[in-house]
Chain A
Amino acid sequence: MRIPCPFCGDRGNEEFTVLGAAGLARPAPEADDAAWHDYVHLRDNPAGAHRELWHHVFGCRAWLVVERDTRTHAVLSVTPAKERAA
């Protein structure tokens, strides 16, 4: 699997580490247990397009949002994580 880093170009996935699903909204500190349980533990885990956080740890060290098809490993889009809507 190769990931086109917006800063470094096309790189093998051994240069990256992956954290998991992107776009999980961290609850407010005083949110109830159910909200925290949902954030920490529950996942959509789709078969198909999946947005994930990848770290180009052996490259530019940028965090990236990679959208991949989990059925084929095809990379659909890559954007720097800091450009995510806040």
Chain B
Amino acid sequence: MHYSVFSLLRNALSGNRSWTPAWRDPEPKPAYDTVIVGGGGHGLATAYYLAKEHGITDVAVVEKGYIGSGNVGRNTTIIRSNYLLPANTPFYEKSLQLWEGLEQDINYNAMVSQRGVLNLCHSDAQRDAYARRGNAMQLAGVDAELLDAAQVRAMVPGLDMDNARFPVKGGLLQRRGGTVRHDAVAWGYARAADRRGVDILQNTEVTGILVEGGRVTGVETTRGTIRAKRVGLAAAGNSSRVAAMAGLRLPIESHVLQAFVSEAVKPLIHTVVTFGAGHFYVSQSDKGGLVFGGDIDGYNSYAQRGSLPVVEDVMESAVALFPAFSRLRYLRQWGGIMDMSMDGSPIIDRTPVDGLFLNCGWCYGGFKATPASGWCFAHTIATGAPHALNAGFRLDRFATGRVVDEKGAGAQPNLH
């Protein structure tokens, strides 16, 4: 069913009885051309672009839980392309451009909101670093503005501008950044892929990867063997475990990141604000809740829940930046498991096993990458080689020394 104002009216007048499910619930076929492991944002987007851009529709997305149960439904919804390194900037800008046209493309309201992302700076050195980043962005054709303290004050009331320890000196603003409703992204891509013939197999866990003579031939699942010519892994926080089924050992640790939502209040923050003197960021959802994020907990975890010291740390940062937040109560909090890679950047590449492709290592920032990740992974799977946009995200870059370390933290995943 095509969604439009007319379908909305028609269904409103007929008591909403004729809506059809957004995607089918098919039985697994014995074989597909391509199987994607993991029905998060990246896996679903990959399937969609395989069908749309490359005409490959004999595709199954195999998801162990339900669509939206992973990080795609757990993140803090921020999108941006304010990167410094040449391997990153064009890729994330491609993603932002795909976000800008996404809702028309997939006929789904994902509430893409370009409300801006403002990174605050608190020292002269930090302002210099942001000026450099903004210049690099502009050289790559990306919008960036350096704001002074007065401009920040006018844009975001409520900041503790003149804090004695961390005064706000200005900020780097990307107006085209913002937020997107995360579960709508999962549902929208699932529906759009399904409409092009992709089978979405929920509650189907991949338990083995079949390799014969150095070539992938399919996957074992909890609903039987599925043969495939090509297999793409997009299992987010579980990448090491899934890749191990094909004998690969990855430059990745799994870590937990928490998110927080406050009680709903009237409009208070109209953009996304990040604290430059601690790891903290905030935006306000359309329901009115303030959405907070901070640091990962720092230890390996598959538990999808974090511990209390990080909660305290995030709340302290929130109140340091916006003293008025001390009057708010936080309503709910959760965790998600992410692949932290050794240089803080992702991997979208072939693997040493023929026909097996890998998409992983998204760290804190894979939600904003969803469209470009799917687009580039689909290209890599369809053609057998990376696109220029993901040419920096090779698996062998760690062995060859061509790491993409945006933060300069080295091979210490919990510092990225």
- Count residues of B near A (Cβ-Cβ below 8 Å): 26
Please give me the residue from chain A that is nearest to B302 by CB atom.
Answer: A47
Let me know if A28 is at the binding interface, CB within 8 A.
no
Contacting pair A73 B303 (CB below 8 A): yes
Contacting pair A41 B303 (CB below 8 A): no
- Select which of A12, A33, A71 is within 8 A of B303 by beta carbon: A71
Evaluate whether A20 and B253 lie within 8 angstroms (CB atoms) in the complex, with A40-B342, A45-B300, A52-B299 already known. yes
- Complex Cα–Cα for A46 and B276 (A): 34
Contacting pair A45 B398 (CB below 8 A): no
Interface centre among B240, B241, B300, B307 (most CB of A within 10 A): B300
Contacting pair B302 A70 (CB below 8 A): yes
Let me know if A37 is at the binding interface, CB within 8 A.
yes
Question: What's the least CB distance linking B336 to chain A, in Å?
Answer: 15
- Select which of B302, B309, B414 is within 8 A of A13 by beta carbon: B309
Bits for A17-48, please: 1 = Cβ < 8 Å to B, else 0.
11111000000000001100100111111010
Contacting pair B253 A1 (CB below 8 A): no
- Complex Cα–Cα for A6 and B251 (A): 32
Let me know if B232 is at the binding interface, CB within 8 A.
no
Evaluate whether A70 and B300 lie within 8 angstroms (CB atoms) in the complex, with A20-B413, A41-B398, A47-B241 already known. yes
- Complex Cα–Cα for A41 and B412 (A): 9
- Complex Cα–Cα for A13 and B411 (A): 23
Kindly state the interface size class of chain A when it binds its partner.
20 to 34
Q: Within B280-314, which residues are at the interface with A (CB < 8 Å)?
A: 298-303, 307-309, 312
Question: What's the least CB distance linking B244 to chain A, in Å?
Answer: 8
Let me know if B399 is at the binding interface, CB within 8 A.
yes
Question: What's the least CB distance linking A43 to chain B, in Å?
Answer: 6
Interchain pairs with CB closer than 8 A, number = 71
Bits for B236-253, please: 1 = Cβ < 8 Å to A, else 0.
001011000000011111
Please give me the residue from chain A that is nearest to B305 by CB atom.
Answer: A73
Q: What residues of B have a CB within 8 angstroms of the CB of A45 in the complex? A: 240-241, 250, 252-254, 300
- Complex Cα–Cα for A44 and B302 (A): 13
Residues of B within 8 A of A (CB): 238, 240-241, 249-254, 298-303, 307-309, 312, 342, 398-399, 411-414
Task: Give 10 A-B pairs besides A20-B413, A33-B399, A73-B303 with Cβ atoms closer than 8 angstroms.
Answer: A13-B307, A19-B412, A20-B253, A41-B398, A41-B399, A42-B251, A43-B253, A47-B241, A47-B302, A71-B303
21 contacts between A and B (CB under 8 A): A1-B299, A13-B299, A18-B299, A18-B414, A20-B253, A37-B399, A40-B342, A40-B411, A41-B342, A41-B399, A42-B251, A43-B252, A43-B253, A44-B240, A44-B249, A47-B241, A52-B299, A68-B299, A70-B300, A73-B303, A73-B307
10 closest A-B pairs by beta carbon, nearest first, are A14-B309, A45-B240, A41-B251, A41-B398, A47-B302, A37-B399, A1-B307, A41-B342, A18-B299, A42-B249
